[in-house]
Amino acid sequence: MQSAARINRDNSRDEESEFDAGESGDKIADMEKRLQSMNDGEDKDTLLLMLTLAHCRLQHWDQARRYASMLLARDPNQATARAIMESLKSKK
């Protein structure tokens, strides 16, 4: 039986590899295409947040602001998006 720590560590690796794959542009482009066809809902919010974080990691500040802004337009109380937008104020 797997321990919770190992499961969390494995999940973290999966998330990291998803962003790493995005460095070539392919994974992010796929997520952006998926976003266009999604209906409103929690899954769309999650995808917007993933895109925001991926662009932050790649230091694509304008794109990160764009997706964080889209998420905040949908949910102005989204704490993570608000924190990211605050940190992006100093980025050019």
> Is 50 exceeded by the pLDDT of residue 91?
yes
Average pLDDT over residues 70-92: 92
| Whole-number Å distance between alpha carbons of 25 and 40 | 25
Question: Cα-flanking dihedrals φ and ψ of residue 50, to 5°?
Answer: -60, -40
Give yes or no for residue 16 having a pLDDT over 50: no
CB-based contacts of 31-35 (< 8 A; 24+ apart in sequence) = none
Decide if pLDDT at 9 tops 70.
no
CATH topology of domain 4-88: 1.25.40
Give the predicted TM-score (pTM) of the model. 0.69
Output the pLDDT for position 8: 41
- What are the tens digits of pLDDT across the range 25-53? 579 999 999 999 988 888 999 999 999 99
